[in-house]
Amino acid sequence: MTHYEIRYASHPEDAKSYDTKRLRRDFLIEKLFSPDDVYMVYSMYDRMVVGGAMPVAGPVKLEAIDPLKAPCFLTRRELGIFNVGGAGVVRHGDATYDLDYKEALYLGRGDKDVIFESKDPKRPAKFYFNSTTAHCTYPDRKVTKADADKMHLGSLEGSNARTINRMLVNQVIPTCQLQMGMTELEPGSVWNTMPAHVHSRRMEAYFYFEVPEDQAVCHFMGEVEETRHIWMKGDQGVLSPEWSIHSAAATSNYTFIWGMGGENQDYGDQDFSKITDLK
């Protein structure tokens, strides 16, 4: 079964007045995985769709939800998929792609169905995906960590030693606007994306996983002069508007997947702020 909701964009001046409940309602994506279901959030931030699929009893189809007004989900869209569960299979038209843990797949625009499957229902695959609008069609391609453009940043002394695996990005594959990657923090490190930054040319979504069940992530958002926070658990996502910083610290090390959509594909197009300027 497919479940979806629409999230509307907010003005930064309005967001300053949001209480905890409103912040969580507008930006946090609490549920992404349930057996044999597909969950999606259709965001008005650059029209990105953030979702998850967990096939168990059988194949699950990625349906064209009503807001798309299209015969197929990918009629006017491109799609990035990461498997964060057991071994799985993605079928796109006549093509079949095996996806193991932490492997990614890019699917280009076109009128082809997308089907998710698990190889072992006792260890189901969990497919996390981002989708953005596309103006042309680029080839499908599976991307593994071995294919990634890697960046090693931070230090254990700064509690932020991490590896950024840039996977579905223009340094590795051609896309229209979607850019996705996976950042892995080393044991003893908890901070990501410091110094904080914004990029007004594109929005972003974060998905946190490999978070122990008894631990939590504190995601920071808002403007530099007036930040906000959202406490999150593993396997949850959060939307980051183009005007907002996006950073986090957790009570354990973790991994997160970032996805961006907008008019600029340049990963380095970031407006940084000093850590000491955060309020």
What is the DSSP secondary-structure string of 150-195? EEEE--TTTT--EEEEEEESTTTS--SS-EEEEEEEPTT---BS-S
State the amino acid at position 259 in one-letter form: G
179-195 per-position pLDDT tens digit = 999 999 999 999 998 88
pLDDT exceeds 80 at position 264: no
**Strands across the sheet containing 95-99:** 60-61, 114-118, 88-92, 95-99
- Name the token pair of 182: 């996976």
Per-residue confidence band for 273, with pLDDT thresholds at 50, 70 and 90: confident
- Name the token pair of 238: 């959060």
20-79 per-position pLDDT tens digit = 999 999 999 999 999 999 999 999 999 999 999 999 999 999 999 999 999 999 999 999
The residues spanned by each domain of the chain are 2-277
Determine the average pLDDT of the residues in 229-236: 97
CA dist 159 and 185 (Å) reads 9
Give the pLDDT of residue 268: 66
- Name the token pair of 88: 């799985």
Look up residue 190 and give its DSSP letter.
-
CA dist 232 and 216 (Å) reads 6
Give the pLDDT of residue 166: 97
98-132 per-position pLDDT tens digit = 999 999 999 999 999 999 999 999 999 999 999 99
- Name the token pair of 237: 């996502």
pLDDT exceeds 90 at position 151: yes
Task: Judge whether 183 and 165 are in contact, CB under 8 Å.
Answer: yes
DSSP 227-270: EEEEEE-TTEEEEE-TTS--EEEESS--EEEEEEEES---TT--
Percentage of residues in the chain having pLDDT higher than 90: 89
Four-point Cα dihedral 31, 164, 152, 174, nearest 10: 180
What is the value of pTM for the model shown? 0.95
CA dist 214 and 78 (Å) reads 36
Percentage of residues in the chain having pLDDT higher than 70: 98
Give the pLDDT of residue 265: 73
Return the H-helix or E-strand segment holding 14: helix 12-15
How far is C-alpha 124 from the geometric centre of its chain's CA atoms?
Answer: 20
Determine the average pLDDT of the residues in 199-203: 82
| Mean pLDDT over each residue of the chain, to the nearest integer | 94
Give the pLDDT of residue 249: 95
CATH architecture of 2-277: Sandwich (2.60)
155-169 per-position pLDDT tens digit = 999 999 999 999 999
Contacts of 4 by beta carbon, 8 Å cutoff, 6+ apart: 39, 40, 41, 42, 51, 65, 67
Task: Judge whether 183 and 162 are in contact, CB under 8 Å.
Answer: yes
pLDDT exceeds 90 at position 276: no
Give the pLDDT of residue 69: 95
pLDDT exceeds 90 at position 85: yes
Task: Give me the sign of the Cα torsion angle 237, 243, 244, 245.
Answer: positive
Find tokens 């869209």 and name the residue.
77
